[in-house]
Amino acid sequence: MTEPALLLLRQDDIRAAAAGLDAVEVVRQTLLLHAAGRTTLPAEAYLPWHTATGAFARSLALPGAVWGDRPAVGLKLINSCLDNPARGLPRAQGWTFLFDPDTARPAAMLEAAWISATRTAAYTALSFRLLGDPATDRVAVLGCGALAEAHLRLLAAELPEAKYLLHDLDPDRAAALAACWAGRLAVSVAGSAREAVAGAGLVVTVTTTTTGYLAQDWLAPGALIAHVSLDDVLPEVIEQADVLVVDDWDLIAADDRRVLGRMYRSGAVTGPAGQRFAADAGAGRRVDATLAEILTGDHPGRSAATDIVLSNPFGMGVLDVALAAAVRDLAMAGDIGTTLRP
C-alpha cells in the first residue's frame, strides 16, 4: 500500500480556500451534532510555564471528533506567549491536525491561528443571532489582537451599520485595528473599557487578562456579553445575568483557571442540571443552558428585550476540527496547499 500523503495548509492557503466558507454555518451544524451526541469531546490538555523573562506561556491541545455524514477527527495544538507581540510575533500560533478516520494516520496539517480565531468569532456571531438584539447599533470590542480582527470580519456581515468601539490597554494596537477597518465599518477607539461598553448591545471580550474588571452597572439593558476571553467580567455579572449560556458544561466544570470554573468550585455557580462541585457546596447561580439547547429550542433563551445575557464559551475542540475539515475539503477541491510525502 502506498504511504498516505499529508496535506499542508499554511495561513495563505487557508485564507484562499476559505474565501467562500460559511464558518457560522459550520459551527451551527457542529453544535447540532454535539447536541445529538454525535461528537467526541475529550478534556483539554493544558501545559503552562513562564519564560526566561518571566512572561506567561502555555500550550493547549484540544482533540475532538465529529461523527456527521463525513466524519472529522483531529487535534488543535496551539501555543501562546504574552511577550510575543513585543517581539513582532503573533501571541498564539500552532497547528490543527486532521486524521484519517480509518487508518488514524495524519491526513492534513493546517495553521491553527486563523482556524481558531474564526471558530471563536463564528461562535459569537451565532450567539448574537440566537441571543442578541437585532436592533443593536453599538458594539464594544475589548482587546484588539487577532481575535478582535476575526470578530470584526464576521460581525461586519451581522451588523454592518453598527458603531464599533474598540479598546485595548495598548492604544496603538486599538488605533491600528480601527485604521484597518476605517471606511468599511463605523469604528472608533474608546479611551477606556467602560467608555466602550456604555450603551453597547453587544460586548465582545477578547483580552488576555486574568483579573476581572467589567462590572454589572456598566451594561446596558438587553446587552449580550460574548465573554470569549473568560476572565473579564466580575463575578457579579455572572450572578446577576438574566440568562447564562455556556458551550459545554463538562469542559467548564473541569477547569479551575477561569472565573466560571472557580465560581463552580466555591459553590457560587451550579451546572445546568444543578450539578455541584461538592456535596456540601451551596446552591449557587445556576447555568441556564448550552448554546446548542438554545439552537434546538430546548431552552427559550432571553424572555424579555431587557434581559442581560452572558455567553461564556470554554472553546470546543470539535468546532476547530469541523472548521478545519471544511477548509481542507475546499482546499482539496481547489488544488490548494502542499502535499508532503514520506
Q: What are 95's three cell numbers?
A: 497547528
Is there a single domain that holds both residue 310 and residue 322?
Answer: no
Q: Residue 3's pLDDT is what?
A: 66
Query: Rounded CA gap, 19 and 103, in Å?
Result: 30
Is there a single domain that holds both residue 230 and residue 161?
Answer: yes
Q: Residue 95's pLDDT is what?
A: 97
Q: Residue 1's pLDDT is what?
A: 53
Q: What are 228's three cell numbers?
A: 470569549
Is there a single domain that holds both residue 71 and residue 155?
Answer: no
Query: Rounded CA gap, 58 and 83, in Å?
Result: 12
Is residue 238 within 8 A of residue 260, CB to CB? The reply is: yes
Q: Scanning the structure block, which residue is given the C-alpha cell 453598527?
A: 162
The answer to whether position 309 is within a domain reads: yes
Query: Rounded CA gap, 13 and 118, in Å?
Result: 15
Q: Residue 90's pLDDT is what?
A: 86
Query: Rounded CA gap, 111 and 286, in Å?
Result: 37
User: Residue 309 maps to which CATH number?
Assistant: 3.40.50.720
Look at strands 106-111 and 92-99 and give their pairing: antiparallel
Is there a single domain that holds both residue 52 and residue 142?
Answer: no
The boundaries of the domain holding residue 86 are: 6-115+318-340
Is there a single domain that holds both residue 27 and residue 99?
Answer: yes
Contacts of 164 (CB under 8 A, 6+ apart): 139, 141, 152, 155, 181, 185, 186, 187, 188
Is residue 64 within 8 A of residue 40, CB to CB? The reply is: yes
Residues of the chain with pLDDT under 70: 1-3
Per residue in 128-160, pLDDT (tens digit) is 999 999 999 999 999 999 999 999 999 999 999
Query: Rounded CA gap, 36 and 47, in Å?
Result: 31
| Helix ranges, the chain (H) | 11-17, 23-35, 112-131, 146-158, 171-181, 193-197, 235-240, 249-253, 259-266, 291-296, 317-333
Is there a single domain that holds both residue 182 and residue 288?
Answer: yes
Q: Residue 341's pLDDT is what?
A: 83
Q: What are 43's three cell numbers?
A: 478534556
Is there a single domain that holds both residue 85 and residue 151?
Answer: no
Query: Rounded CA gap, 225 and 228, in Å?
Result: 9
Q: What are 214's three cell numbers?
A: 467589567
User: Residue 47 maps to which CATH number?
Assistant: 3.30.1780.10
Is there a single domain that holds both residue 154 and residue 291?
Answer: yes
The answer to whether position 175 is within a domain reads: yes
Query: Rounded CA gap, 83 and 329, in Å?
Result: 35
Burial grade of 33 (CB within 10 A; 0-12, 13-18, 19 or more): middle
Is there a single domain that holds both residue 269 and residue 155?
Answer: yes
Is there a single domain that holds both residue 154 and residue 256?
Answer: yes
The answer to whether position 1 is within a domain reads: no
The answer to whether position 125 is within a domain reads: no
Burial grade of 215 (CB within 10 A; 0-12, 13-18, 19 or more): middle
Is there a single domain that holds both residue 327 and residue 303?
Answer: no
